Structure 1
């Protein structure tokens, strides 16, 4: 079994486990190492372990311990979960047959999976924007394929707060962030996610996608709307909270040539943080806003 399949953890348990482990570091054997799948050993010492904040709001705090090589603190090789170190590829795997396709995120470990995909596993390319941390209550779905997490998307439901200070609420459901791992692109997963989003709100007259649309996100929307003619008048690029002055019809803007369409990867949209999963994945710099972009 993998971490996501083990008995559910509470945030307080994850934090307590991290604190106990850190407090025991001085008394642990100096020769203790983590054996990575690349046949390299990473020493487990206090200077090689860091705490990663999982959510946008750190009150109450929720952290997970990450192990990195001595020479590079931005590289993550393992996470400390359920009282042991797990390589990243195992944290993103499942043994449950029920996790297939797009599955609503409900457990803390499923939120850890979203965190890893958006913050650790997939690095932004030049010119891309990194994901900000998601709120702990963010509505998300993870895309599972062949027992591994290959992507996710998050939603701002109609009526949910746009931020923590203005009191304004979203006026329509908005697809806020979307990611497909680079190694899994061009297999129709971006189209599958768009279809799932629209089907989940079939009774809504209008649906939103967070602005600004990147070139490849616009290309995926074009491909999607070429197939789904009935959605052309319903899908809008929006800025929060999404009133009519903050909406732009995506299909109309495509026809008017207002997007620079990126055709090479148009079958898959992947947002700001992107890189094929590796054992030594890196922590990207964080942006101040999570927006849906693609490459």
Structure 2
């Protein structure tokens, strides 16, 4: 049997025109089953004969059972939505490629799209879109050899992905009014809360954080009060200040909140900015 070369772009014409998020929806059970079968096949071979090579790089990485790991996509996931990830032998924390639809895809291609209508802020609905959220928060924006900046999100988290120029550049998540605050108590959120905002650092200072905050506030026109989860980062405070300077009618509406968001757990963001209670970054996340 000859050596197999697995590139970041799939071999057939259809795959070269599309990316994983553009394929028909896949069931997570089927995804895991295909990954398990592939791993068994790899382990049963007498010798390693597969290599992964980025289309844009000369270096290649041998695909062996020793440099493949399982990734769990969701927080506290009893069902265990798992997929295979390829990593360098000397750096298990790094993710080079993912096994999807019978091929290895480099991370930068998993967060891309060939669909021209997939642009702007769009609700997260499919498993592949949730995978992209995972990659943005746990892999793409993760400093080398350091822990991820964000925790893994629950599978039911309400979110929107931000698409620009054929790629996912950020997302935000929302805790809706009436949803449970956690899995161990019966407390529910008393108001809609903007929980996580992420913009890829290469896309900072383009107004994208402001775009997401504006979208969040406009999504709840009938709510008198809206929240943002504590603590606010310095860059998020900068976005809030910019937004509230442009939208005076929201100054009495936007609060920093602790779950579940009772009045004693709310602090008016504009007031705190005026009282200089925040550290404000010069670099907005958008």
TM-score of the alignment, normalized to the shorter chain, above 0.5? yes
Whether the aligned pair in 2 keeps the contact of 1:115 and 1:133 (CA below 8 Å) is yes
**Structure 1 residue 64 and structure 2 residue 83: aligned?**
yes
For residue 50 of structure 1, the aligned residue among 65, 69, 75 is 69
1:223 aligned counterpart, secondary structure? helix
The aligned residue for residue 16 of structure 1 is 33
Whether the aligned pair in 2 keeps the contact of 1:103 and 1:143 (CA below 8 Å) is yes
Whether the aligned pair in 1 keeps the contact of 2:53 and 2:61 (CA below 8 Å) is yes
CA–CA separation in structure 2 for the residues paired with 1:39 and 1:194: 41
For residue 44 of structure 2, the aligned residue among 27, 37, 46 is 27
Deviations 1:77-115 (A, max 9, x none): 100011110011110000112210000000000000000
Whether the aligned pair in 2 keeps the contact of 1:155 and 1:173 (CA below 8 Å) is yes
Q: Which has the higher contact order (CA 8 A, sep 6+)?
A: 1
Residue 71 of structure 1: how far off its partner (Å): 1.8
How do residues 178-193 of structure 1 correspond to structure 2 at under 5 angstroms?
A: 178-193=197-212
CA–CA separation in structure 1 for the residues paired with 2:232 and 2:145: 17
CA–CA separation in structure 2 for the residues paired with 1:116 and 1:127: 15
Moved more, 7-16 or 117-126: 117-126
The aligned residue for residue 279 of structure 1 is none
Whether the aligned pair in 2 keeps the contact of 1:15 and 1:61 (CA below 8 Å) is no
CA–CA separation in structure 2 for the residues paired with 1:38 and 1:70: 18
Whether the aligned pair in 1 keeps the contact of 2:85 and 2:98 (CA below 8 Å) is yes
The aligned residue for residue 138 of structure 2 is 119
Residue 128 of structure 1: how far off its partner (Å): 9.1
CA–CA separation in structure 2 for the residues paired with 1:216 and 1:26: 47
Normalising by the residue count of structure 2, what TM-score does the alignment of the two structures yield? Answer: 0.90
Q: Aligned in 2, Cα 1:199/1:249: closer, same or farther, shift over 3 Å? A: same
For residue 80 of structure 1, the aligned residue among 85, 99, 114 is 99
CA–CA separation in structure 2 for the residues paired with 1:214 and 1:74: 25
For residue 205 of structure 1, the aligned residue among 194, 206, 224 is 224
Deviations 1:11-48 (A, max 9, x none): 11111112111111223451310012322101000001
Q: CA RMSD in A?
A: 1.6
Q: How many equivalent pairs are there?
A: 267
The aligned residue for residue 264 of structure 2 is 245
1:24 aligned counterpart, secondary structure? helix
**Structure 1 residue 3 and structure 2 residue 32: aligned?**
no
**Structure 1 residue 152 and structure 2 residue 171: aligned?**
yes
**Structure 1 residue 167 and structure 2 residue 174: aligned?**
no
The aligned residue for residue 107 of structure 1 is 126
Determine which structure has more spread, i.e. the larger CA radius of gyration. 2
How do residues 222-261 of structure 1 correspond to structure 2 at under 5 angstroms?
A: 222-261=241-280
* Over 4 Å off, 4+ runs: 124-129
Whether the aligned pair in 1 keeps the contact of 2:139 and 2:148 (CA below 8 Å) is no
Q: Structure 1 unaligned runs (5+)? A: 270-295
Moved more, 24-33 or 152-161: 24-33
CA–CA separation in structure 1 for the residues paired with 2:218 and 2:34: 40
CA–CA separation in structure 2 for the residues paired with 1:41 and 1:35: 4
CA–CA separation in structure 2 for the residues paired with 1:196 and 1:175: 11
Q: Aligned in 2, Cα 1:125/1:84: closer, same or farther, shift over 3 Å? A: closer
CA–CA separation in structure 2 for the residues paired with 1:74 and 1:57: 20
Q: Structure 2 unaligned runs (5+)? A: 1-17
Whether the aligned pair in 1 keeps the contact of 2:142 and 2:148 (CA below 8 Å) is no
